[in-house]
Amino acid sequence: MMVISQNFAEFAKFTSNFQGIPNGCHSISLENTGGYSLSGNCNNTCSWAIPSMDNNSKDILSLKIPFLNLFAGDEISLFKLDEQVTPLATITAKTQFVPSFNLPAKTGAYLSVARGNCLRNDTALIARFEIIPVCEKEITQAPRKNTVVSSPNFPDSYPLGVDCNWNISTMGSKSNLHLITFNHLNVSQNHTLTISRVLKGSQTTVNITLGEKNSSLPSDLLVLTPNHVKFYAPFNNIFTVGNGFQLSVTALDCGELYTRESGKIETPSNSSFCVWIIKVPPTSSDSVNIVIFTLTPNEFGENSSIEIHDGGSIRDRPFTNLSGSDIWSRTNELLIVYHPTSDNTEKITVNYKTFSCEPNMQCDNKICMHPEWVCDGFNDCGDYSDEKNCNETRPTPRPTEHPEIQTNGGYLVAIGLGVPAAFILGVCLTFLAFKLKNRSTEVNYAPFPIIEE
């Protein structure tokens, strides 16, 4: 160390204190990427400084700690290197999980490590940083095209301090509408995913926060363009983060959200991709509301241009039989997809109404029990309550079986292999004749393919 003094008067003097720096204890990074490791230095406080790279930059300083080995009494403190040296997070030997951290590159970061009693040859931590672009994107879609939006690092856990913004618009759309489908959502409490311009009465912004108590995926959303998607995960000392979200955003030619108790939907003659969502009131006192609908015409070929999902999302299974009248849903929501081919542009009308299931018509799990479910030999309710008090004793399916949903809510049952073939054939023919007599012929529809950009 060398000290140089200049311009002192004859009797002037100054005092100062100096302290030696333990070897490998303090470090400063002056590049756009770098790392820091700390070994030993017991009973000392060491530091790592990452100063501002550019005061006008919107870039992000991404900090990760891939290796951590702290003893009792060790403590790591992370600060934003602004004028106030704002504290952001504290890590101790009791910390079980350390996420990555995002900070503004224009402020920089400061890491302080206070070491207690330890081994002189141990490695306490290894940390790395890099400067990455700001989490912000402008997306312009063509009609009928699909864009996937996901949180940083997805499917791995997202960083703390993340503040992402996506502005999504459509080029040449007739309706300026988007369909947003949630493919995955695992967002910790106090971390929010906000979607603006949602078609839901007068409400134009939806804040979606999922914590430990709610892990189900929301229904699909119809939103006006341009719309704004924002994901915000502020710093906290709990270090609870999920692995984030993934959304599919599809531009539509037409669509609408129906919240009235009854209504009629007619397919347009000049649109090639439309989505309508029917969402009637969910309950009324002790009753459970569902949707009953009828299509005109009510007979469709294999290349039908309409598909109706039994629920409020394209994730939900489509009805496999759309013939007949008064088709019952399982919930208070339906999602209708209209995607005609060049040789199939027939006009289709959907008439719907709300039906209230009173308590005496409900399954034990509060699902509305369809009349044809009662004692039909299938676990239509999902909890076997539709097969209670039946005259015929029927075998209980194994819990591991996952039968497919049919239009009327029926399920497929496997027949044991130990029965002779002739007897099996006879049983099958008799069963088939009975079912054909009581149920409409089913038409299978392939799930609607997501159109990739």
Helix (H) or strand (E) holding 146: strand 146-150
Give which of 388, 382, 385 is closest to 364, Cα–Cα: 385
What's residue 353's pLDDT? 95
Domains of the chain: 26-132 (2.60.120.290), 136-252 (2.60.120.290)
Helix (H) or strand (E) holding 104: strand 101-104
CB within 8 Å of 288: residues ≥ 6 apart: 282, 356, 357, 362, 366, 367, 368
Rounded to a whole number of angstroms, the CA Rg of the chain reads: 31
Give which of 148, 164, 155, 163 is closest to 186, Cα–Cα: 155
Q: Which pLDDT tens digits describe the chain residue by residue (453 residues)?
A: 556 666 666 666 667 766 666 777 899 999 999 999 999 899 899 999 999 877 778 899 999 999 999 999 999 999 999 999 999 999 999 998 999 999 999 999 999 999 998 888 899 999 999 999 999 999 998 878 899 999 999 999 999 999 999 999 988 777 889 999 999 988 887 888 888 888 864 345 666 654 444 457 889 999 988 889 999 999 987 888 889 999 999 999 889 999 999 999 998 877 778 999 999 988 878 899 999 999 988 666 555 688 999 999 999 999 988 887 889 999 999 999 998 876 666 788 999 999 999 988 889 888 888 888 889 888 888 888 888 888 755 555 444 333 333 333 332 223 233 334 444 444 344 444 444 334 333 333 333 333 333
Q: Which residue has the tokens 């140089």?
A: 4
pTM of the predicted structure, to 2 decimals: 0.75
Ramachandran class of 378: left when φ > 0, alpha when ψ lies in -120 to 50, beta otherwise: beta
Cis, peptide link before residue 155, omega less than 30° from 0: yes
Q: State how far the Cα of 335 lies from the Cα of 317, in Å rounded to an integer.
A: 10
DSSP per-residue letters across 38-84: EE--TT-EEEEEE--S-TT---EEEEEEEEE-PPTT-EEEEEE-STT
Strand partners, 53: none
Instruction: Provide the CA 61 distance to its chain's centre, in angstroms.
Output: 26
Contact 354, 281 (CB under 8 A): yes
- In 209-261, DSSP assigns E strands to 221-224, 227-233, 244-252, 254-258
Rounded to the nearest 5°, which phi and psi values hold at 351?
A: -105, 130
CB within 8 Å of 94: residues ≥ 6 apart: none
* DSSP category for residue 387: G
Both tokens of residue 34?
């770098």
Both tokens of residue 193?
């995913």
Q: State how far the Cα of 186 lies from the Cα of 165, in Å rounded to an integer.
A: 18
Q: Which residue has the tokens 């497919």?
A: 404
Determine the 3-state secondary structure of 427 from DSSP.
Answer: helix
What's residue 127's pLDDT? 96
Ramachandran class of 385: left when φ > 0, alpha when ψ lies in -120 to 50, beta otherwise: alpha
Q: State how far the Cα of 341 lies from the Cα of 304, in Å rounded to an integer.
A: 9
Give which of 262, 264, 355, 278 is closest to 311, Cα–Cα: 278
Q: Which residues of 46-79 are buried (b: 16+ CB within 10 A; e: fewer)?
A: bbbbbebbeeeeebbbbbbbeebebeeebbbbbb
The number of C-alpha atoms within 13 Å of 298 and in the hemisphere containing its C-beta is 11
Rounded to 10 degrees, the C-alpha dihedral 376/382/387/392 comes to 70
